[in-house]
Structure 1
């Protein structure tokens, strides 16, 4: 394995802001599950299940992982963290590592990692749950923010983690019918996966134009997922093209349709902003270490009326990016910004939890703050913000001070010097 790692090292290059490590992901597990590193379980009163839903037989359909409150007596197994080897290939492409090398390294270090949610566990009925739509970062996909999504589900949310098909995910797929299958045939063997991999910038291509087009598609995908969940809630039959034992009919009348929010990290933060500007049913949004480049100029012209919380890391942001956030939130007391001290851009995805201390620090998968403390601050501030702006009857207001940037390891606003350069 050491020789494979040395070969991988030689082809690593720096990349743009992303939802996953831009350097040295192959070593990120550093023993992973074998050394006891775990993605943290939810701290709320609900057990958590997760299941995947895909509609349609083309890229224009929807693909999501739903995290949800589940019945606690389930004996089902935890879901795999990265469910298909093709995601390893996509991560390798994104990180400029030979696929053969990257796939073996990812499989070796994180192939056995699971997330602390029970796969296809029985849904817990009897309540109307608020809905949170989650958008992943550049080069990421639906499963690698499970620490955030599971915590929200454990606190009583339905969390629909979208997998974007705008070629910004490291890998994703849709299911299409095999050419030689019979029209009436509906078995799993009659369909095949059509993979879509991350698209790199072409020579001479201007990045802002590409990212703006992608963020428009991403916002539409978030709205499609919202519509899909509400359709299920109303009792309409939805065909899941994936082979799953989960009964989506159990979600009928389970969504609190007046309490819907959108959340995302990095490119997903930009997606939050665009989604808010296009869909008023999203009553508020949370942008984690948002990358503002993709956001269109017209979006700054008072088109985001809903409350918005920016949660930034200490080490990622820069002045022009933060000034765009400030421009969006100017003179609006319902738009807040906080910064988590000692955190890095990778403090939000799950990679920070499955890497050892040395590797995690060296490749900036971990900051100076303990990863569990960083994610707790982010999650608690998010819950307090959601309680206020979704009018929830919970006790999340005990963390209201975090939204104001008051408390250990959190500051109000930004640590970035925004004064004009002389």
Structure 2
């Protein structure tokens, strides 16, 4: 198997960036437009979907997990699409027990419409696994890989919840560091020990740092919301099935005068999650900014990940199998993401959300499929309003 090719007008390549050796190095992947290529192109290398460091944990849960080559190549030259001076940016945060690699399709798909997408490998212990580099005189490259393993937090206690919230703060700092590094990439000062021969100078002056969004899935969705609040460079948050357990209630009293777009799937989102999402509504803090919640029907929590494209038998064995076809659901997902990015970053080619909903009637809905009453939402909102009044 392999993942579908990106659907946009531009071909996409990627490179992995590690700023320095040691455990505190920041590891992230950038997806970007490139010139046209083919599988027969001698310069195009198509690496495997995940590296071994990520698979160790996942294979313990997914016995039938198989590797496959990606449908996009690594390290082809960056190309600014014709008519574009600088490209807008999306910083992406992965979910619990996954990694940047598990979102290859959504990240490359967005990049194929003329975006730079930077997906971070979090080192708060939430990833399936990762690695860093240490200097070594015994290696040809001068570095050796060192594994960074998943840190389990057993949910169910207040101590566990507080630890999770602390680790989200680590994730948010990592997202901010990636935004810093994109600034370095734009001014030609970013170093990369992972692919030292790849020419990063092609990116110099080509990133639009004024048009930056944050996006994330599940735990990454909660991380994206906190990042929106804390980082002034971020103009909009697009969250996919956000895990609201990992969002600290203290932030609900803050005015977030920036748009929040929530794209939910079916299954993992519960009533309490929806209620907390609605506590972001602008009438709670008197903020003026868009709040949008939509739900893609016939899906599961993993529809917005690469796992959606695995075999039916694999998906059924893990209860990941969705009612609707993955390509249909992710086409809607990308359309919603692009419409939100273009609207809130002030980009051309805007498509109204209402037209996406109308075109895909029966497969996507405004709001939620969860049975939650207006009275329950108003009661939850009032609690936050009361907290604000006591400050």
Q: Which band: TM-score by shorter chain?
A: 0.7 to 0.9
1:202 CA drift (Å) = 5.9
Structure 2, unmatched stretches of 5+, are 377-391
1:372 CA drift (Å) = 0.6
Q: What are the within-5 Å matches in structure 2 for residues 34-73 of structure 1?
A: 38-73=2-37
- Residue 416 of structure 1: aligned partner: 370
Alpha carbons 2:215, 2:237 under 8 Å: kept:
yes
1:263 CA drift (Å) = 0.3
1:340 is the counterpart of 2:293? no
- Residue 87 of structure 1: aligned partner: 54
Alpha carbons 1:67, 1:153 under 8 Å: kept:
yes
Distance in 2 of aligned mates of 1:64 and 1:409: 33
- Residue 352 of structure 1: aligned partner: 308
- Residue 316 of structure 1: aligned partner: 268
1:230 CA drift (Å) = 1.0
Distance in 2 of aligned mates of 1:417 and 1:393: 37
Question: Among residues 374, 381, 384, which one is paired with 2:329 in the alignment?
Answer: 374
Q: Give the CA RMSD over aligned residues.
A: 2.2
1:362 CA drift (Å) = 4.5
Query: Residue 407 of structure 1: SS of its match in structure 2?
Result: coil
Question: Among residues 179, 187, 204, which one is paired with 1:234 in the alignment?
Answer: 187
Alpha carbons 2:258, 2:289 under 8 Å: kept:
no
Q: What are the within-5 Å matches in structure 2 for residues 79-158 of structure 1?
A: 79-82=47-50, 84-92=51-59, 95=61, 106=65, 110-111=66-67, 113-125=68-80, 127=84, 128-158=86-116
Q: Deviation digits for residues 213-257 of structure 1, max 9, x if unmatched? A: 111010110110011011110122x22111454211110011112
Structure 1, unmatched stretches of 5+, are 1-32, 182-186
1:205 CA drift (Å) = 7.4
Deviates more, 1:118-127 or 1:163-172: 118-127
1:176 CA drift (Å) = 1.2
Distance 1:406 1:202, change over 3 A: closer
Query: Residue 319 of structure 2: SS of its match in structure 1?
Result: coil
Distance in 2 of aligned mates of 1:330 and 1:205: 29
Distance in 1 of aligned mates of 2:362 and 2:33: 30
Q: TM-score, normalised by structure 2?
A: 0.87
- Residue 327 of structure 1: aligned partner: 279
Distance in 2 of aligned mates of 1:415 and 1:400: 18
1:405 CA drift (Å) = 10
Distance 1:406 1:369, change over 3 A: closer
Distance in 1 of aligned mates of 2:295 and 2:289: 17
Distance 1:372 1:413, change over 3 A: same
Alpha carbons 2:27, 2:121 under 8 Å: kept:
yes
Distance 1:333 1:190, change over 3 A: closer
1:399 CA drift (Å) = 5.0
Number of matched pairs: 363
Distance in 2 of aligned mates of 1:166 and 1:241: 21
